[in-house]
Amino acid sequence: MGEEAQQVQLHIMSKVGKEENSTTEHINATSRPTSAQRRNYKRWLRMAIYTIFLISGQSVSVLLGRLYYKKGGKSKWLATLVQLVAFPLVLPYYIISAPKKPTTDDSVVVLVHSKPPSTLILSSIYVSIGLLVAGDCLLYSIGLMYLPVSTYSLICSSQLAFNALFSFFLNSQKFTPFIVNSLVLLTISSILLVVQSDSEDPSGVSKGKYVIGFVCTVAASAGYGLVLSLTQLAFRKVLKRETFTVVMDMIVYQSLVATAAIVVGLFASGEWKGLNREMEEFELGKVSYLMTLIWTAIMWQVFAVGSVGLIFEASSLFSNAISVLGLPVIPVAAVVVFHDKLGGVKVISMVLAIWGFVSYVYQQYLDDFKPKPEDRNGNIEVSNASPPA
C-alpha cells in the first residue's frame, strides 16, 4: 500500500507540474500579443505626431512661399534658402537629451550589436544627401515661382511614384496590388494637369515659363523620391542605430550642407544685391516680408522633422504617402487665399490623388497587422521599423 500511495502521489505531483507549466506557457503566450500591441500603439502615436508635423509644415510653408512670390519676391535662391536655414531650431534637442551614463549592459549591447560607421562614411552620407536636397529645393522654388500653387501641389503627388521606383531598387520595396493601384492613380492625377486648359497663372505667367515650372516641379518630385529612398537606405544599412538622435543628426547635418551650398549659389548668382530693394518694394511691407520668410523657414523645419521621423518609424514610401495626403489640402486653401481656379480637371486630379493615398495606407495597415514570425526560441521578431530605444 505504501508503494501504491507513493506512485499515486508522484502521479498527482507530475500532473500538477504539467498543469503549472501549461498555465505558465499560456500566460506567456497571451502576454506576448499584449506587449506587441503596446509597442504598436506607441509607434502609431509617434507616427501620428510626425504626420501632423509633416502635413502642417508642408501646407503652411508652400502657401507662404507662394505669398512671397505673389507679393513681390523674386529671388529663387532666397526662397530656397528659407527651406533649409532653420535647422538650428532643433539643436536644443541635443541639450535636452544629454546622454546618460551608460550602464554595463548598455555598453555590451552597443559593442555586440554593430560597430558605428566611420567619420568618413558618415560625412559622405551627409554631404551627398545634403547636396541632393539643395538641388531639389532649388527646383521646387523655380516650380513654385511659375505655377499656381494648386497646380504645383498636385504635380508634387507624382513624387510617390518616383519614390516607389527608387525604393524598389534601393530598399527592396515589395509591390502589392494596392501599392500598384496607388502609383497608377497618382501618376494619372499628375498627367491630367498637363492637359488642363486653365494653366495660366493669375499673375500672367507665360506658357513658356509654365512649362519650365512644370518640368522643374516634376524633376524636383523625382529628386525628392530619391532623397527619401537614400535616407532610408542610410538608416537601415549604414547607421543601424534605432534612436531619435539618429533622426536629428540626419536633419541637422544634411541641412547644414544644403544651406552652405545654397548660400554659395545666392552670392555667386548676384541675387543677394537686390534683396534690400526687394524688401523695400514688397507689397505687404518690410515687417510682413521678414515674417513671411521667417515663418516659411520655421514651417519647413517642422516638415523636415515629420518627414525624416516617418522614414525612421516606417519607410520612405510611407513618409512620401503622408506627404501626398497633405497635397490636396493646399489647392483648397489656395482657392481661399490666392483665388486660384479649381476647375473640373483639378478636382478629378485631387480625387485620384486622395484615392491613391488611401490605397497605399490600406496596404500599410495590412502589413502592420500581419503576425510577426517567431524565431527558434519562440520570441517574436521585431521588424526594422521598431520603435527607438
Highest mean pLDDT among 9-18, 231-240, 322-331: 231-240
Grid cell for residue 224: 525628392
Q: Per-residue pLDDT tens for 140-155? A: 999 999 988 778 877 8
- Distances in Å between the Cα of 30 and the Cα atoms of 23, 25, 33, 368, 370 are 11, 9, 6, 19, 17
Grid cell for residue 252: 541637422
Pick the more confident residue, 289 or 191. 289
Nearest to 228 by CA among 147, 148, 309: 309
What single DSSP character describes residue 341?
A: -
Average pLDDT, the chain: 77
pLDDT > 70 fraction of the chain, expressed in percent and rounded:
75
Cα–Cα distance for residue pair 373/370, rounded to 1 Å: 9
285: left (phi over 0), alpha (psi -120 to 50) or beta: left
Q: Tell me, what's the pLDDT at 103?
A: 45
pLDDT band at 15 (very low <50, low <70, confident <90, very high): low
- Distances in Å between the Cα of 144 and the Cα atoms of 73, 79, 209, 255 are 12, 10, 11, 21
For residue 355, give the amino acid letter.
Answer: W
What's the rounded mean pLDDT across residues 191-196? 63
Cα–Cα distance for residue pair 65/57, rounded to 1 Å: 12
Q: Tell me, what's the pLDDT at 366?
A: 77
pLDDT > 90 fraction of the chain, expressed in percent and rounded:
31
If DSSP codes are grouped into helix, strand and coil, which group holds residue 46?
A: helix
pLDDT band at 134 (very low <50, low <70, confident <90, very high): very high
| Dihedral pair phi/psi, residue 374, rounded to 5° | -105, 150
Cα–Cα distance for residue pair 156/186, rounded to 1 Å: 10
Contact 345, 195 (CB under 8 A): yes
pLDDT band at 181 (very low <50, low <70, confident <90, very high): confident
Which run of H or E residues covers position 241? none
Whether residue 54 has pLDDT greater than 50 = yes
pLDDT band at 194 (very low <50, low <70, confident <90, very high): low
Contact 63, 336 (CB under 8 A): no
Contact 231, 107 (CB under 8 A): no
Whether residue 332 has pLDDT greater than 90 = no
Highest mean pLDDT among 43-47, 65-69, 116-120, 234-238: 65-69
What's the rounded mean pLDDT across residues 195-212? 65
For residue 342, give the amino acid letter.
Answer: L
* Verdict on whether the full-model pTM lies above 0.95: no
What's the rounded mean pLDDT across residues 27-32? 48
What single DSSP character describes residue 158?
A: G
Cα–Cα distance for residue pair 140/318, rounded to 1 Å: 21
Q: Tell me, what's the pLDDT at 284?
A: 92
Cα–Cα distance for residue pair 206/67, rounded to 1 Å: 19
pLDDT band at 303 (very low <50, low <70, confident <90, very high): very high
